[in-house]
């Protein structure tokens, strides 16, 4: 076989120092390898570009879809007629997560519309003149907090809402959704969340609600809507958040609850709402939110694991005590200072996340961006389903939780490594107990702490 030197000159037998020689086959091999390397590199580049495109958050399209929804809320809008405060919240909160604010005309329309939904005896109904309901009260209050202006916040009749919440309180400790309505964990959460944000949370509202929630934690570890029912992600979030807001999260069986929630993340990377059901984008918030809350409860989980190990049994569930582990010394006199309960949610934000994310947050972002995001704007439950405002709100809320899930503090910066896709995907951070954009929460906390 003819030989070639490595630099292409003729073979030489002179006394010159021996040069490394390559055979034709070797040269061909190098050429082929360079080629393959080049092809691989362009494939990798192309796939990075494709990924950047596929994993891109289509902000502008979402903003158009959401804003259009808000403009349709007028008197001629009859779809979801009893749910219009919800539509306001889903849309306004989604826009706030995207860092968008609404113009003053829309803002005034929303404030006027919600004022017409406010009952003269307190609370908000699903539309003007409708029965006040806890779910729509939560949606209306969160909408007004998200608007955040003086006009929006002062349109809320806090004292009347307080009477409405007291009227919904049941002897069991739980709350009814409306006069004569069902008692469930959703009602407890919406009542306590609203009272906490409005700085009207006192002992009379808190009394025994913890015991009611404890009676809903099931053998699986998750929380059901009512005693004896099946554990569900929506109620697990509501139950856990309520327990934190009243300072009693340590009474839940936290290790089992966390176990149940983390195993709800499926092979599709999304979360399912309950055992053996399909994954759905909205559980990115309900289940992801429960874990975002739980990751700040490390000290209680440690305590429970230690005591269950030492005692060889589960922690007693009804080990009631009135002092809250969230409060600083001297805060125990709650009867004289009932509004200190409202500060629990505020100080919760200072609790550090001991573990980092408890779920696969990059995988969940992939599910939301690739399978739930509709490129024309909006989000859906899963491929094959239509986009809607509810799924847009909870997919975006879950996405935000993922992006900040490795930050030590809730208001720490979103770390580039934890944002899947381009960094421009980064959303605003949320208060995980209320699902309000953090700045909006700080604003309302300050506004009503003077009251």
Ligand X SMILES: CC(C)=CCC/C(C)=C/CC/C(C)=C/COP(=O)(O)OP(=O)(O)O
Q: How far is CA 306 from its chain centroid?
A: 29
Nearer CB in complex with ligand X: 193/425:
193
Query: Of these partners, Zn ion, ligand X, none, which one is at the site of residue 151 (CB under 5 to 8 Å by kind)?
Result: none
Please work out, in degrees rounded to the nearest 5, the angle formed at the alpha carbon of residue 171 by the alpha carbons of 167 and 173: 90
**What would the x/- binding string for Zn ion be over residues 132 to 171, using CB under 5 A?**
----------------------------------------
Binding ligand X (rule: CB under 6 A), the pick from 158, 162, 186, 440 is 186
- Interacting residues with Zn ion between 347 and 386 (CB under 5 A): 381
> Residue 88 interacts with ligand X (CB under 6 A)?
no
Contact map string, positions 284 to 313, toward ligand X, x by CB under 6 A: --x---------------------------
Nearer to Zn ion, 231 or 301 (CB): 231
371 φ/ψ sector (left φ>0, alpha ψ -120 to 50, else beta): alpha
Taking CB under 6 A as the rule, does residue 91 contact ligand X? no
Indicate which of Zn ion, ligand X, none lies near residue 190 (CB less than 5 to 8 Å, by partner kind).
ligand X
Is 135 within 8 Å of 182 (Cβ atoms)? no
Other Cβ atoms within 10 Å of 418 Cβ, number: 18
Judged by CB under 6 A, does residue 277 bind ligand X? Answer: yes
- Judged by CB under 6 A, the number of residues near ligand X is 14
396 binds Zn ion (CB under 5 A): no
- Residues between 109 and 148 that touch ligand X (CB under 6 A): 135, 138
Question: For residue 367, what is the DSSP state?
Answer: I
Query: x-or-dash pattern for Zn ion, window 275-304, by CB under 5 A?
Result: -----x-x----------------------
Instruction: Answer yes or no whether residue 274 interacts with ligand X by CB under 6 A.
Output: yes
Is 85 in contact with 385 (CB distance < 8 Å)? no
Q: Is the Cβ–Cβ distance between 409 and 349 less than 8 Å?
A: yes
State the DSSP string of 404-451: TTTSSSTTSPPPGGGS-S-GGG----EETTTTEEHHHHHHHHHHHH--
Q: What are phi and psi of 277, to 5 degrees?
A: -110, 170
Q: Which residues contact 420 (CB under 8 A, 6 or more apart)?
A: 55, 362, 365, 366, 369, 402
Residues recognised as catalytic: 232, 274, 277, 280, 282-283, 381, 388, 391
Cα Rg of the chain, angstroms:
27
Provide the residue count of the chain. Answer: 451
Q: What is the per-residue binding string for ligand X in 227-256, x denoting contact by CB under 6 A?
A: -----x-xx--x------------------
Distance CA 11, CA 205 (A): 95
Query: Cβ closer to ligand X: 61 or 277?
Result: 277
Give the closest residue to 420 by CA, choosing from 164, 27, 57, 17.
57
Please, which residues bridge with residue 169 across strands?
A: 175
- Binding-site string for ligand X from residue 376 to residue 405, where x marks contact by CB under 6 A and - marks none: ------------------------------
Question: Interface with ligand X by CB under 6 A: which residues?
Answer: 135, 138, 186, 189-190, 232, 234-235, 238, 273-274, 277, 280, 286
Residues that bind Zn ion (CB under 5 A): 280, 282, 381
């Amino acid at each position: 076989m003819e030989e070639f030197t490595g630099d292409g000159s003729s073979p030489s037998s002179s006394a010159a120092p021996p040069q490394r020689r390559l055979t034709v086959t070797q040269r061909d091999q190098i050429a082929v390898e360079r080629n393959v390397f080049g092809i691989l590199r362009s494939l990798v580049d192309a796939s990075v570009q494709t990924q950047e495109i596929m994993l891109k958050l289509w902000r502008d399209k979402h903003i158009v879809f959401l804003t259009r929804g808000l403009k349709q809320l007028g008197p001629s809008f009859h779809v979801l007629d009893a749910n219009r405060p919800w539509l306001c919240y889903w849309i306004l909160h989604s826009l706030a997560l995207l860092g968008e604010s609404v113009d003053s005309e829309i803002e005034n329309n929303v404030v006027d519309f919600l004022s017409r939904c406010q009952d003269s005896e307190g609370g908000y109904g699903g539309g003007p003149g409708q029965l006040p309901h806890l779910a729509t009260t939560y949606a209306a209050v969160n909408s007004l907090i998200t608007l955040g202006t003086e006009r929006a916040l002062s349109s809320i009749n806090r004292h009347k809402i307080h009477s409405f919440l007291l009227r919904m309180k049941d002897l069991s400790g739980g709350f009814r959704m409306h006069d004569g309505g069902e008692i469930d964990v959703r009602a407890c959460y919406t009542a306590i969340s609203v009272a906490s944000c409005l700085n009207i949370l006192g002992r009379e509202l808190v009394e025994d609600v913890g015991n009611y929630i404890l009676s809903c934690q099931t053998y699986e570890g998750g929380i059901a809507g009512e005693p004896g029912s099946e554990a569900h992600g929506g109620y697990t979030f509501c139950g856990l958040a309520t327990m934190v807001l009243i300072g009693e999260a340590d009474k839940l069986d936290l290790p089992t609850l966390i176990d149940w929630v983390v195993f709800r993340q499926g092979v599709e990377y999304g979360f399912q709402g309950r055992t053996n059901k399909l994954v759905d984008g909205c559980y990115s918030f309900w289940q992801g939110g429960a874990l975002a809350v739980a990751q700040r409860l490390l000290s209680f989980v440690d305590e429970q694991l230690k005591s269950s190990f030492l005692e060889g049994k589960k922690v007693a569930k009804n080990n009631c005590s009135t002092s809250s582990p969230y409060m600083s010394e001297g805060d125990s006199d709650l009867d004289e200072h009932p509004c200190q309960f409202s500060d629990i949610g505020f100080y919760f934000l200072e609790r550090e996340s001991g573990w980092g994310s408890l779920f696969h947050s990059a995988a969940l972002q992939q599910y939301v961006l690739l399978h739930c995001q509709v490129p024309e704007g909006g989000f859906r439950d899963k491929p094959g389903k239509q986009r809607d405002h509810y799924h847009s709100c909870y997919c975006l809320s879950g996405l935000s939780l993922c992006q900040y899930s490795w930050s030590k503090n809730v208001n720490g910066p979103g770390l580039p490594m934890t944002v899947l896709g381009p960094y421009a995907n980064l959303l605003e951070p949320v208060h995980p107990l209320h699902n309000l954009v953090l700045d909006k929460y700080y604003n309302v906390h300050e506004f009503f702490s003077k009251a």
